[in-house]
């Protein structure tokens, strides 16, 4: 199966889906440092600069991405999807409408649950998608930090004469909602706080440290993306 990423950052979604066996076909990212990272790791993948101007993307099975969170985050001005940056969800929606992928995976900060989730789900429904969603902490998949994020998996129902697709995706994705119940994961995160430099893999003293930390801070944990990608493959297998 194929995947394309919007707001690609340093490739957290791309790496996770690739690990699950997907082929990355294109990426859209405006930040120069992040684009350099993508170029190094995916030299043969098509890349585009500005999500507002990109047209004629190749159709893929999955479109994924984490649109900007600054206006959604509780640390931000609180404009939500009406803000200039988080309002780029409208471009995400435009590309979904244009490409009609079989699956859409959306990521944002947990605050989206009260600052725009209803709009995102409504937009997806208007485009013919059902969805499952859950707030996931990075520490629940073994990462040395909390990083709680909201993930949405949207899917068409009954495509190509397969009316069971909705049920299979629901069954495949629902276990993700149990991840945050792992107290041992939270305990491991707390223990790692004793050594804050571990959060960034010893970034002190390395070239482009600030850009590197910024890229990591904006990225998702690839293990979560990989888990979701494998559940999509599982749903495909069940619905076949």
Active site residues: 69
CA 92 to each of CA 24, 64, 105, 171: distance values in angstroms, whole numbers, following the listed order? 18, 9, 11, 26
CB contact at 8 A, 137 and 188: no
Q: What SS3 string covers 18-48?
A: HHCCCEEEEEECCCHHHHHHHHHHCCCCEEE
What is the Cα–Cα distance from 235 to 240, expressed in whole angstroms? 8
Sign of CA dihedral 195, 199, 205, 209: negative
Enter the DSSP assignment of 221: P
């Amino acid at each position: 199966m194929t995947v394309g990423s919007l707001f690609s950052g340093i490739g957290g979604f791309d790496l996770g889906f690739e690990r699950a066996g997907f082929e990355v076909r294109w990426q859209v990212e405006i930040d120069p440092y992040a684009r350099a990272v993508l170029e190094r790791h995916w030299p043969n993948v098509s890349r585009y600069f500005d999500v507002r101007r990109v047209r004629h993307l190749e159709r893929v099975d999955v479109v994924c991405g984490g649109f900007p969170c600054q206006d959604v985050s509780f640390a931000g001005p609180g404009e939500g999807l009406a803000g200039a940056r988080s309002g780029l969800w409208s471009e995400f929606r435009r590309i979904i409408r244009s490409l009609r992928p079989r699956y859409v995976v959306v990521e944002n900060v947990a605050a989206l649950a009260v600052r725009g989730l209803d709009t995102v789900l409504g937009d997806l429904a208007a485009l013919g998608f059902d969805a499952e969603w859950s707030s996931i902490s990075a520490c629940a998949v073994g990462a040395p930090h909390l990083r709680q994020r909201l993930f949405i998996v949207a899917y068409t129902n009954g495509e190509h004469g397969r009316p069971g697709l909705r049920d299979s995706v629901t069954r495949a994705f629902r276990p993700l909602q149990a991840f945050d119940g792992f107290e041992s994961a939270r305990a491991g995160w707390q223990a790692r706080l004793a050594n804050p430099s571990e959060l960034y893999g010893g970034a002190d003293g390395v070239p482009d440290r600030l850009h590197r930390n910024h890229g990591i801070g904006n990225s998702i944990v690839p293990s979560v993306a990989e888990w979701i990608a494998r559940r999509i493959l599982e749903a495909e297998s069940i619905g076949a």
